[in-house]
């Protein structure tokens, strides 16, 4: 979901909600395939993870919109002394968020099951490397992060609504 028009709070919150939704989708796929011993290629299911990176380096860069600057108004000349007549230049806003889906290539638990059709010569079967407890903890964290972004979006909406009533 992309929101334009200078509503920076809306776009940040919606991007966060989108990322958490994708994370919950991947976690639910991991939980659904936790007991899968064989994929289409014959190997056990491998846990998937969402890797999120951003190139922004500071809080000030999040406030920056293209090549603008913030001007500080003073009621008294002695309150604040700036060399650039009250103008602060913020660093340029860097790149966007990159989201990559990765696969955990660690080996799963090896269980002795000689009657299983996927057992090797010695009767051992490699299980999926998904840990249900870790996945549930990650699901709760993603759900709470989604709720936090929703609360921030609602607060931004309420601030804009209140400012229109002035």
With beta carbons less than 8 A apart as the criterion, state whether 124 and 112 touch: yes
What pLDDT is attached to residue 136?
96
- Coil vs helix vs strand at 49: strand
* pLDDT, mean of residues 76-88: 53
Quickly state the pLDDT bin for 35 (edges 50, 70, 90): confident
Mean pLDDT of 73-78: 65
> What is the residue extent of each domain of the chain?
1-46+106-166
Rg (the chain; Cα; Å): 25
DSSP code for 1: -
Q: How far apart are CA 34 and CA 47, in angstroms?
A: 8
Task: State mean pLDDT over 150-163.
Answer: 90
Could you tell me the pTM of the whole model?
A: 0.69
């Amino acid at each position: 979901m992309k929101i334009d028009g200078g509503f920076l709070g809306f776009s940040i919150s919606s991007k966060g909600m989108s990322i958490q939704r994708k994370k919950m989708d991947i976690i639910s796929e991991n939980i659904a395939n936790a007991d899968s011993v064989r994929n289409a290629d014959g190997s056990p299911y491998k846990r998937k993870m969402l890797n999120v990176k951003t190139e922004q380096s500071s809080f000030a860069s999040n406030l920056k919109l293209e090549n603008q600057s913030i001007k500080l108004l003073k009621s008294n000349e002695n309150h604040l002394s700036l060399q650039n007549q009250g103008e602060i230049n913020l660093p340029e806003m860097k790149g966007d968020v990159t989201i990559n889906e990765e696969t955990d290539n660690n080996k799963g638990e090896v269980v002795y099951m000689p009657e299983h059709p996927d057992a090797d010569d010695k009767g051992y079967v490699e299980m999926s490397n998904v840990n249900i407890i870790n996945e549930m903890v990650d699901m709760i964290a993603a759900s709470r992060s989604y709720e936090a972004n929703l609360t921030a979006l609602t607060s931004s909406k309420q601030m804009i609504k209140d400012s229109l009533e002035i």
